[in-house]
A and B are shown apart, each in its own frame.
Chain A
Amino acid sequence: MRAVAARPGGRFGLGVLVALLLVLVLAPLITRYPPDAQDLARRLTGPGLAHPLGTDQLGRDLWSRLVFGTRVTLGVAGPAVAAALAVGMTLGLLAGYGSQAWDRALVTVMDVIQSFPAVVLALVLLALLGPSARDAAIVIAVAFIPGYARVSRALTLALKARPFVEAERALGAGTLRILVVHLVPNLLGPLLVLVAMDLPSAIAIQAGLDFLGVGVQPPAPSWGGVLADGFEYVRQSPWGIVWGSLTLVVVTLGFTLLGEALRDTLDPRVARITGARRPA
């Protein structure tokens, strides 16, 4: 953790993460108006004393909509990535450790899923399931599962050949124990890096779906929703787009940099575990 903070990118990323968590938790305390409170007298205003970021086409406070939108957006993207991690890792573990037949079957399924661009997949599935926040989360999760499955599978295959696995079997360790106690902890590091890289993608896809109207449904606040409304009324007031985009950019950049910093810190540690050379 310390090493991540040492890197400038890491610091920024951690800062973004902390800020988001604070916003998530303190949402009611840092906003003056509820996100759906309409004030038709003050529609599409710019930044001002009453509304620091301005208002949208129904007079709702933009700051408030973005703050509460954090809960919604992260509330979809976060669990989606977490689910993808859990399911993907499990599938990858089974594919790598189990029989060849299992492996081939799983890899084929993953290939099929990955052959669709995520957004297209999401649109198709949501069209079938009907637009909703919960289904959006499921769809995003499904799109990301193959990434985790692939990495887990590759790592599992490599680890399976290492002496410590044979040593554990010689002691009588069952498959479950080997997978959970000895293999999973080795997978979490690299997978965490993937999570940090996937979150911005998930958020972006989520925002895109909301923008298109197939994710979170209005009047629930969401970043994509703010962007969509801002887009529609851009000639009267640019501020919806401005603040919506800025939020997305900052968050996406933050997580991406965090992911890179994590990956850089992880490399020397991985090298040490695999026994790279020191002065001799």
Chain B
Amino acid sequence: MAEPLVEVRDLQVHFSERRLGLPADPVRALDGVTLAIPPGQILALVGESGSGKTTLARAVLGLVRPRRGEILLDGRPVRPGQAWVRRRAQMVFQDATASLSPRVTVSYLLREPALINHLPTPHRSVAELLGMVGLPAELERRYPHQLSGGQARRVAIARALALAPALLIADEPTAGLDVSAVAAILQLLLDLRRRLGLTCLVITHDLRAASAVADAVAVLYLGRLVELGPVSEVLERPAHPYTRALLAAVPEPDPRLRRSRRLLAPGEIPSPRRPPPGCRFHPRCPWAEPRCRVQEPALQATGGEHQVACHLWPEVRSQPWPPPEESR
């Protein structure tokens, strides 16, 4: 594998709070995550609430300080507040409209990154940036509240591209979009990768979006990486019970296919303040054995580039996916 663009090594990010003057249980947003993204790859970071996926994105950009571990961008360690990071990595926030300053025009938003970073001439002009994301040039005179959700998202992407970063992090790029707009945004990401050689980290809970754009998928649960590998491996030969539960939970637009109830993960997602001991998924796992309650599984290779953190992965992986259909 070529020198990775982004490397995360044993990253731990905890958020501590004080309640009534006494330190409360910290939120263990990330508890030892290791992964690498080669240049030009689109990696989908998949997880639900409390998984830590947004925290990971912010850590890569140097917006949060890790408790332990390292982040390397182009082989250089990332530390909060460093200016060079901004030129290499940028993020598109989850709520695109709210991430655009309300009292300035689109034109200013797209020129500002160059101004802030003291570039004598911007890498890319406003017209160029708008064109890259498929928006008409006239939009530059509008204010964010005059844009539709899809347009705001594209403007946010255009802004992220203003400094010509090598890495683009998209936080839930399809959330809140109509089905017809989802395809367009995902296609845009693919086009940008093709034309600009952009590396993308796509954070999503939408497995369909992940399957459409990603080369590789990383599944996070409660701050730990449970499965990582090429998209065809993870989505078609899942080796972790949580991945299977996630796949089973996505409703299939075919009334003849009805996922069996026993495939669904029961119970609530625990709080990241008090993750279960041992394997964090064990309380909800149909395969759980006594040792899962005690010993936290490490990431192991299943052959090739597919890794999984489960004591029982051979058994899990041997179960066919999707399971034999049950008709209604």
Chain A residues within CB distance 8 Å of chain B? 162-164, 166-174, 177, 181-182, 185-186, 272-273, 275
Contacts and interface: CB of A to CB of B under 8 A. Distances in A.
B112 A169 contact: no
Given A177-B116, A185-B103, A170 B90 contact: yes
B63 A169 contact: yes
A162 B93 CA distance: 11
Given A163-B93, A166-B93, A273-B145, A172 B116 contact: yes
B296 interface: no
Interface stretch (B19-27, B36-44, B94-102, B226-234): B94-102
B62 to A, nearest CB: 9
Nearest to B102: A273
Contacts of A172: 83, 86, 113, 116-117
Contact of B104 (A171, A181, A272): A181
B98 A162 contact: yes
Given A163-B95, A164-B102, A167-B93, 7 more contacts: A167-B91, A167-B99, A169-B63, A170-B61, A170-B63, A171-B112, A182-B103
Given A170-B90, A171-B116, A272-B145, A163 B103 contact: no
A168 B99 CA distance: 8
Contacts of B61: 170
A173 B93 contact: no
29 contacts: A164-B98, A164-B100, A166-B63, A166-B99, A167-B91, A167-B101, A167-B156, A168-B112, A169-B63, A170-B63, A170-B86, A170-B90, A171-B86, A171-B90, A171-B116, A171-B117, A171-B159, A171-B163, A172-B83, A172-B86, A172-B113, A173-B112, A181-B101, A181-B104, A185-B104, A186-B102, A272-B145, A273-B145, A275-B98
Contacts of B100: 164, 167
Interface of B: 61, 63, 83, 86, 90-91, 93-95, 97-104, 112-113, 116-117, 145, 156, 159, 163
A168 B156 CA distance: 11
A275 B103 contact: no
B116 A163 contact: no
Contacts of A174: 116
A266 to B, nearest CB: 13
Nearest to B169: A170
A182 B101 contact: yes
Shortest 5 CB-CB contacts between residues of A and residues of B: A185-B103, A163-B99, A167-B99, A163-B98, A182-B101
A275 B97 contact: yes
A195 B156 CA distance: 35
